[in-house]
Amino acid sequence: MTSVYLESATRCVIFACGHQLRIHNCHSSQLYVRVQSHPIIEDCSEMKFSPYSLLYDSIEADIVVSSLFLLIETIKHSSLVF
């Protein structure tokens, strides 16, 4: 499992599944995420978060095996929408 680093994204739709998620200086974007650790969100505005929603036949088994879960922690944020 790898980390996802996102910087300076504006008006994007992103699907991310990984060990760690770090988001910096992003605005007006939608993220569908599932991560193992607390995401770090800094200097972002007008962000929307939802659970990772890509579906395929063995997704439930893959999630159990990888111990993934959804958890959002915000650090130094403004105007975040959940």
pLDDT in tens, 3-50: 899 999 999 999 888 889 999 999 999 999 888 888 899 999 999 998
Q: Please check whether residue 27 is in contact with residue 46, taking contact to mean a CB–CB distance below 8 angstroms.
A: yes
For the segment(s) 3-66, the CATH number from 2.60.40.650, 3.40.190.10, 3.40.309.10, 2.160.20.70 is 2.160.20.70
Q: Please check whether residue 51 is in contact with residue 34, taking contact to mean a CB–CB distance below 8 angstroms.
A: yes
Q: Confidence band (pLDDT; 50, 70, 90) for 54?
A: confident
CB burial string 20-39: b at 16+ within 10 A, e below: ebebeebeebebbbbbbeeb
Nearest to residue 70, comparing CAs of 52, 53, 55? 52
Q: Confidence band (pLDDT; 50, 70, 90) for 74?
A: very low
pLDDT at 1: 63
